[in-house]
Structure 1
Amino acid sequence: MSTETYIPLKTLCTHYKVETSFFQGLNEYGLIEITTIEHAPCVHHDHIKNLESIIRLHQDLHINFEGIDTVMNLLEKINTLQNELIAAKNRLRIFEE
Structure 2
Amino acid sequence: MKTDHLILLKTVSSHYQVELPFFTHLSEIGLIEIEIIEQSPYIREEQIKDIERMIRLHHELEVNPEGIDVVFNLLQKIDRLEKDLITIKNRLKLYES
Structures share fold, TM-score greater than 0.5: yes
What is the distance in 2 between the residues matched to 1:12 and 1:57? 16
Aligned residues with identical type, % of pairs? 51
Deviation (angstroms), 1:38: 2.4
State the Cα deviation string for residues 40-69 of structure 1 (Å, max 9, x = none). Answer: 100011111111111111011000111111
Higher helix fraction: Structure 1 or Structure 2? 1
SS of residue matched to 2:31: coil
Deviation (angstroms), 1:39: 2.0
Return 5+ residue gaps in structure 2 as ranges: none
Match of 2:11 in 1: 11
**TM-score, structure 2 length as denominator?**
0.93
Match of 1:74 in 2: 74
Match of 1:57 in 2: 57
Match of 1:20 in 2: 20
Corresponding pairs, count? 97
Instruction: Name the aligned partner's letter for residue 86 of structure 1.
Output: I
Deviation (angstroms), 1:2: 4.2
What is the distance in 1 between the residues matched to 2:87 and 2:49? 25
